[in-house]
Chains A and B, each alone.
Chain A
């Protein structure tokens, strides 16, 4: 049996806001019947203020899918649409005192239903770009599609590379056989043979850029975002650059902020655009690292 928190059990046994909402003006249907999860989220939005007056759900799914749906409705009632859209899947999981890694996708489904329902209310078309594969790394909840895409995009050729890029395999290591299988398959597509123990070439430096130039460029990107962070009472500091991994220190209000992972993702994106290479930004504090992983 899954190790569900008391909060999950409570929301499953006594779901809030279950059933049809007769006068809903925003409805989002998401999920996948083949996977056994599907959710309809119904919102009643006050048109003048954009405040969510009522939210109901109907769920075809397991205990944590029902609990995540129930929690989501509780979290968004009384919020404006824009405030509600800030609720992330991690927030839903946190609200329930955590979900098992295999069940994190239930909170993702809640988040997507919310986006779909808001889009429906606003008369927009919402399309889902989320594809989910079988869970490979249970320690960090990384699925096969994510691993395959990352290997393909970055020409990876070792389990160590995959761990560096996705964290998959970085915990208990029992999924290394599964990761090797994906490597064998993708490498065969590009006409290569998987060899254990060989790592991707260190291609950190794009032609013509010295280490010093590269670090200066990284500093320049960080300097550019710094004023924005300082306005919110925080700051960022470059700690070290090691190949494709850039270690930073989040300071002041940024440290431990709920939005920290999102902030880092944004900075990582800017760095990749500027350096024209794939890099990974890693906050040096352990707590921030694990939070960041949950937003992938």
Chain B
């Protein structure tokens, strides 16, 4: 499929080399790794190799700290529910109000069961206040869960420091790192992070495979019980082809880490600067000095994101938006609201997320197309007049109900 794919935080293309590594495990290497015969044995060895490749990418001390799961969401649920089960006397959770729904929806569900959940707020650039965090920490907290990098803005949280603070009160620390793994160098053996979630399809492995990193010695209660797979910590027959694919993708991510942080970052910066220079009343959301190298989230004021995406799509450009309409909900993205972005801008946020396959020509094409699209939609907007917003736009147009 041709077209410009700038939506790599949603999912990525499976690398051709990853596909090739996987293919034998659908046909000639179909055995169950638990079997005694040679059909299974070779698969077991391939999984062992993949486990070491992931260990290497995460900088984990031991390969036994890598548990393969079905996805990032499963890893998140496993981590939090395990911490609660293992420490029944601790009834509180600390997280942030900009987490992925994989965490937030689970937490609001747990609130119904009587757990107290503290949601850390962020400032206008999506940054946490560590003093506020410190005040919430106590011996009642079972687990702290904070994302390594935000999926919408790319903004990093200081998870290494936060893990150390959690341990001071004996709480466990988990991080949803699905956006960061493969883009940020990690050395988990030197941190106090207890658990970390990985999602294969964010780093050019297939969908349907994830990892829960579990630091040795962290008390653990499995979510899925049954067979002895993953040393009894995640029962269920291994998704062997995908595990092999994730291993290969992890190996490739190690090789391209530097490229992501130099070349991909340069392209992202060029895209962002090019758009901001040409489009009035647009701004970057999140913290541009401390974020993922591939992500740029731009708010276009006075227009709505779904309309922008539909027009971009017409030009063969794929991106995503924090508008309410793209999700069918009534409110714009919780991340934008948490940062206090006004509604007239939050609905018009567009996330461009690049990958190592993105090219200079693609970036130039998007810089050329976006200003036209924005101008076209603003012509339809009741807040806009000619080349500029109306004077006091919120007063010039104040619809009957709000």
Contact = CB atoms under 8 A, between A and B. Distances in A.
B330 interface: yes
Given A19-B379, A60-B302, A60-B304, A36 B399 contact: no
Interface stretch (A27-35, A238-246, A260-268, A283-291): A27-35
Interface stretch (B175-183, B306-314, B351-359): B306-314
A17 to B, nearest CB: 11
Interface of A: 1, 9, 12-13, 15, 18-19, 29-40, 57-66, 102-103, 112, 116, 126-128, 130, 132-135
A132 B325 CA distance: 14
Interface in B266-311: 302-307, 310-311
The 9 closest A-B pairs by CB, nearest first: A62-B325, A62-B306, A102-B328, A58-B382, A36-B347, A31-B399, A40-B382, A36-B324, A29-B399
Contact of B382 (A60, A134, A135): A60
A18 B380 contact: yes
B361 interface: no
A39 B331 CA distance: 17
B400 interface: yes
B27 interface: no
B64 to A, nearest CB: 37
Interface in B329-380: 329-332, 343-344, 347, 379-380
B325 A135 contact: no
21 contacts: A1-B313, A9-B310, A29-B382, A31-B399, A34-B332, A36-B304, A36-B325, A36-B332, A38-B382, A40-B399, A59-B381, A60-B303, A62-B305, A62-B323, A62-B325, A63-B307, A66-B307, A112-B400, A126-B400, A128-B400, A128-B401
A60 B400 CA distance: 14
A168 to B, nearest CB: 16
Given A30-B400, A30-B401, A32-B399, A63 B310 contact: yes
Interface of B: 302-307, 310-311, 313-314, 323-326, 328-332, 343-344, 347, 379-383, 397-402
Contacts, number: 106
Nearest to A32: B402
Contact of A60 (B310, B383, B402): B383
B379 A62 contact: no
B304 A61 contact: yes
Given A12-B310, A33-B343, A66-B307, A59 B380 contact: yes
Contact of B304 (A30, A62, A134): A62
B331 A34 contact: yes
Contacts of B331: 34-35
A277 B305 CA distance: 46
B399 A38 contact: yes
Nearest to B381: A60
A66 B383 CA distance: 15
A132 B343 CA distance: 17
A13 B307 CA distance: 10
